[in-house]
Amino acid sequence: MHGPAMSGWLLMALCAATGAYCLLRARARTGEERRAARAEALMGFGMAAMAVPAAVVAPPAWGWVLYAVLFGVAALRALWSSRRSGHHLHHLVGSSAMVYMSVVMAGSGAAAHGSHASHAMAAAGGVPLLTGLLLVYYAAYVLRSGARLIPVTAVPAGAPAGGPPAEGWGARPELALACRLTMGIAMFAMLLTL
């Protein structure tokens, strides 16, 4: 992605840590929750790979095509899984956004090598209307997720301090929500840099 190297490295580290936690969560869950955690881990690691500053490690031209294919398959899987759970619609939007960003970045690489077909899209940073719609979606998602993290009830005085439940760190619903919030913010930031 475009942007300063330091923010790219920080975004990469944040997305990689989120992906790692999602893998931990997948081990602690079963069924539909496990599939959702795996999809979120893929998204976290994919975003981490895309966030590596291009000035430091420039991906090969075929790398963006690989990302587009990988997340295209993930989008199709999310579309199929959305029959069982509405949360997979969010995975569908996220995977589709990753395909879109990969195509834009592949186009910017091709434009740098003289290809005229993709030059207009890459120079404009993608399709402005689509980028704007994705930015609005992720802004709303981040605000909604952030609001869900705000506690609605106070802990009574003298109540024991909360630690990880007996099931372990993978079973903490507030951490799963915080990971989703983190990936939403990261996606918003990546779309802004197009």
Query: What does the pLDDT average to over 82-95?
Result: 87
Whole-number Å distance between alpha carbons of 31 and 12: 29
**Local confidence band at 122 (pLDDT 50, 70, 90 cut-offs):** very low
Q: In this model, does residue 26 exceed pLDDT 60?
A: yes
Task: Report which of 181, 177, 193 is spatially closest to residue 141, judged by C-alpha positions.
Answer: 181
Whole-number Å distance between alpha carbons of 78 and 80: 5
Q: pTM above the 0.85 mark?
A: no
